[in-house]
Chain A
Amino acid sequence: MPCGEYFTDYEHREGLFRWRIQRVALVVGLPVPFLLPFVLGGGDINLLSRVYVFAIAVLGLNVILGYAGEIVLAQGAFMAIGAYTTSRLIAVEVAGLPLGLVPSVLIGGLMAAAVAVLFGLPSFRVKGFYIAISTLALQFISEWFFNNGNAAFIHGGSQQSLPGSIPLFGPLLVVTDDDIYFIALVGMLLFALLSLNLSRTGIGRTFRAVHENDLAAAVLGVDVFKNKLYAFAIGGFMIGVAGGLFAFNTRFISPDLFTLRLTLDHYVMLLFGGLGRVWGALLGTGIVELLRDLLRDFFSAVAPNATSLIPVVFGTIIVVVLAVEPKGVLAALGQLKEYLRKWPYAY
């Protein structure tokens, strides 16, 4: 153990990987998830793919809520927009060639970003609670919209199935739904890198300034409204992309999958892991999703309708986390590490 943490230049201070042990961990740890499919069975791989997909959505939520501090309760709506856009675009052919999965998912993300910006527009005048309820209204409007048969010419039917094999780009590189594991993993890593870089560059610092005190930020010359809209756009894009990948992962979409409960689940993941921390978001998503799997097995073994107690467990987790350690489990681990490092003499 080093007796202190020293940096001799800014390049190291602001680097993505600041310690030698982090570089070693990267080299050793990065191949592990890529090798997992050769070890684990189909059920576990399916669960992990879902974790990766949700992790992208939670990272998007982290940009809006953790960095810019806007309470957005429309996680389900953004994912639904991404999912339905992807589902429609996969079937579209441009000049006789299919569009492919990646462009469809990206356009789905852009659609979600556009809607996010649209519902972020009230932040020109109001903030906090008002943004929370306007996005909550969006959540209910989107559930109604995707259930509404009269709007089928826009969303293309409220229940849709996706094909099992889709080319990745245009007609090239056909993938089946077994490959979603790798697609989601790569997507998650890319978005995690994006979030990490976002948080340590100028725009991330501006977001944090707006989060901490928007009035002070405005006095210091930050365009608060513009930066909030940037956060909505970036976060909404990531959540929309997650929705598109989710659609390809489950191969079936229906409005029941994108309800307010999804929003709450993602809040549990983010708050449990740690608000505003990329590793916290990833860790929280993994732990909560695995916990849900365990709970589902456990409760359905106890009684047939006991699975409805899962939201009760998650709600309790949120309340306890916010009361005990609002910064999340990652901060708690950091405190534990600090305590152990100084043990037994606390100086």
Chain B
Amino acid sequence: MVDVGTFLDVVVSGVGLGALYALVAMGFSLIYKVTGVLNFAQGQLALVGAYGVVLFATPSILGLGLPALAALAATIVLGIVLGIALERVVFRQFIGEPVLSVIIVTLALGGIFTGTLRFLVGPNFRAYPQALQPGWSIPLPFGASVSAAFAIGVVLSLVVVVALMLFFRYTVSGSILRAAASDQQAAMVLGVSIERTIVVAWTLSIAITAIGGILLAMARGGAGFSIEAVGIIIFAAVVFGGLDSVPGAFIGAIVVGLLEELGRSYAEPVVGPGFGQILPLIFLLIVIVVLPYGLFGTERIERL
């Protein structure tokens, strides 16, 4: 019943999808590691990335009509600007506020992003320009193949995870980020500018998330509001990997992508359509109960 070729196909697209999720998930755990903000707006930030290309490439919306690659670059710049702006305008007000406030603020920001995008582009699916719909795919044994968006995603997220690990370990700014993450006050005493550090973290995080959103949209041929759901699915990835571990987020995202594709291919005919995206959530609930600190997360011990 289980055909090898089909199974391999499912596994390959699962890993590909997981690699795209990994970008968004790494954006989440990067910001959590450095600032302690639990960003519930990751899905909407990915959405901003996905629709950013549409915004810049379609003349009728902003009157720009840039060529595809320029739109791509403009979107990444938009992500960076958004990172700086969000930190300056919003998150600076909430340093030292309770977790509840920060979580609700990120949820509210998510609502703001979605509402603005809906106003600008309307509720419908928007196809990407032809230049961003690569037709090629890499053939694999047993008749399986990996599509262009997934291939780019796998390579890119591997590059990002390795680059981030090297950055954290071997560069001065990386050490500063780690220092700020482990003890903000001690880092400040040693002359680290926490404000600049946090801006760097937000910029990196949102740029990575926006790239993840663009690739997720490329994998579907265009941007749709269903990309928002990635915001909850990556929670399964980051909780499984350990909240504050970037490599953990990568591994967790691959597992979650695999689960989603396996669920979509093998469980959906039985349980009902859409179960692929539900399976990671069930996995998330199990992880929360069994292994709340994940694979590589720091266990927090509370004292009075």
Q: Is the CB of B99 within 8 A of A130?
A: no
Contact count A vs B, C-beta below 8 Å: 128
When the two chains form the complex, which single residue of B100, B111, B275 contacts A71, counting CB atoms closer than 8 Å?
Answer: B100
A173 to chain B, nearest CB (A): 39
Restricting to A276-332, which residues have a CB under 8 Å from any CB of B? 305-306, 308-312, 314-316, 318-319, 322-323, 326
Alpha-carbon gap, A264 to B93, bound state (A): 21
Task: Please pick, from B123, B239, B272, the residue contacting A149 in the complex, using a CB distance under 8 A.
Answer: B272
Provide the residues of chain B in CB contact with A128, threshold 8 Å. 99-100
Interface string of B182-201 (1 = CB under 8 A from A): 00000000000000000000
Contact of A151 among B114, B272, B285 (CB under 8 A): B272
* B61 proximal to A (CB < 8 A): no
Chain A, interface residues (CB within 8 Å), range? 35 or more
A19 within 8 A of B: no
B244 CB to nearest A CB, Å? 12
* Chain A CB within 8 A of B64 CB: no
Which chain A residues lie closer than 8 Å to B103 at the CB level? 71, 129, 132
Quick check: is A176 within 8 A (CB to CB) of the other chain? Answer: no
Determine if A323 and B94 form an interchain contact, defined as CB atoms under 8 angstroms apart. Answer: yes
Contact partner, B288, options A69, A126, A323, Cβ 8 Å: A126
The answer on a CB contact under 8 Å between A271 and B99 is no
Q: Among the listed stretches A21-29, A137-145, A337-345, which one makes contact with chain B, having 4 or more residues with CB under 8 Å of it?
A: A137-145
Chain B residues within 8 Å of A264, by CB: 107-108, 111
Docked complex: B71-118 residues within 8 A CB-CB of A? 90, 93-94, 97, 99-101, 103-105, 107-112, 114-116, 118
On chain B, the residues within 8 Å of A316 by CB distance are: 108, 112
By secondary structure, the A interface counts as helix
A267 to B103, CA, bound (A): 12
Count residues on chain B whose CB falls below 8 Å from chain A CBs: 46
Judged by a CB distance under 8 angstroms, whether A20 is at the interface is no
CB-based nearest A residue for B273: A148
Residues B284 and A147 in contact, CB atoms below 8 Å apart: no
Nearest-neighbor residue (CB-CB) of A219 within chain B: B304
- Of chain A, the residue at the smallest CB distance from B269 is A150
Q: Does B281 contact A137, Cβ atoms closer than 8 Å?
A: yes
The answer to whether B288 touches A130 (Cβ under 8 A) is: yes
Tell whether, in the assembled complex, residue A311 and residue B115 are in contact, meaning their CB atoms are under 8 Å apart: yes
Cα-based distance from A335 to B122 in the complex (angstroms)? 43
Select from chain A the residue with minimum beta-carbon distance to B38.
A129
Per-position contact with A for B109-141: 1 when CB-CB < 8 Å, else 0?
111101110110011000000000000000000
Question: Cα distance A148–B271 when bound, in Å?
Answer: 9
**Which residue of the partner chain, among A122, A125, A147, contacts B274 with CB atoms under 8 Å?**
A147
A219 CB to nearest chain B CB (Å)? 6
Which of chain B's residues have a CB closer than 8 A to the CB of A310?
115
| A205 contacts chain B at the CB level, 8 A cutoff | no
Residue in A144, A308, A319 whose CB lies within 8 Å of B109: A319
Q: When A and B form their complex, which 10 residue pairs have the shortest distance between CB atoms, in order from nearest?
A: A150-B272, A308-B118, A311-B115, A315-B112, A318-B108, A312-B115, A315-B108, A148-B272, A315-B111, A311-B111
Residues on B close to A: CB < 8 A?
38, 40, 90, 93-94, 97, 99-101, 103-105, 107-112, 114-116, 118-119, 122-123, 229, 232, 235, 239, 271-275, 277-278, 281-282, 284-285, 288-289, 292, 302-304
CB pairs A–B below 8 angstroms (14 shown): A71-B104, A128-B100, A137-B232, A137-B235, A137-B284, A140-B278, A144-B274, A144-B277, A264-B107, A305-B119, A308-B115, A308-B123, A318-B105, A326-B97
Q: A264-B111, A314-B108, A319-B112 are in contact. List 4 more A-B contacts (CB 8 A).
A: A140-B281, A219-B304, A264-B107, A312-B111
Interface, chain A (partner B; CB < 8 A): 65, 69, 71, 73, 121-122, 125-126, 128-130, 132-134, 136-137, 140-141, 144, 147-151, 215-216, 219, 261, 264, 267, 271, 305-306, 308-312, 314-316, 318-319, 322-323, 326
